[in-house]
Structure 1
Amino acid sequence: MREDGKLDYLELPGGELDAVKTFYGAAFGWTFQDYGPSYAAFDEGLDGGFDADLEAATKPLPVLFAHDLEAMAARVEAAGGRIVKPIFAFPGGRRFHFRDPAGNELAVWSET
């Protein structure tokens, strides 16, 4: 059930939708519902947080989860993503950042 004040949706620039859908499908197994020629929706779960370091957090940063971070980094690259911050440790685990075909920066994290 949806609740007032809860994060409910994340909308990102898509650029060339076919390339973006192919990338997220290959890297993460996402599926899409097309709504006309210029919009593709996904339903893949969502939590969130705020980063007080304004140097590091100048734009929204969607963060995905992976049990095997190295394997996921390889999948991202094989699907056409570009790693922009290699795997590093942070309080709570490890993560890497990448850019998708539309230029959006995302991160993938793991507890180990």
Structure 2
Amino acid sequence: MPAEAPVTAFILVKTMPEWLALTVKEREHAFSTQVLPAIEARTTGVRSRFYDTEYYSARVTDVWVWEADDHESLRLLIDALRETPFWDRYFEIVDLLVGIENGYARTYGLDPVATIST
């Protein structure tokens, strides 16, 4: 049986005035002292990427992409994030989309379909 596929969460957020009032240095400090320790204390096997979208969207200013080794790691990650000021204080959580890359291919034993541009 193949190993469980990594689980990816796309968390769509909108910055709140409290976050925007912080300086860049204060924001970096908040992330490194309030978010990272909470995540490191609660879970392992998670990775993150952050995308700015405020240039193109008024509703969603950022997309946080979190990949977790399994569903349990993702659950622990979300629990950890919810206990920090980043969840609904510094950022409004607009939507949370969770998926497994190429889940259909895994389900039906198919090769994943992907495009490659050269």
* TM-score interval for Structure 1 and Structure 2 normalised by the shorter chain: 0.3 to 0.5
Q: Determine which structure has more spread, i.e. the larger CA radius of gyration.
A: 2
TM-score scaled to structure 1, two decimals? 0.35
TM-score scaled to structure 2, two decimals? 0.33
* Higher relative contact order, chain-length normalized (CA < 8 Å, sep 6+): 2
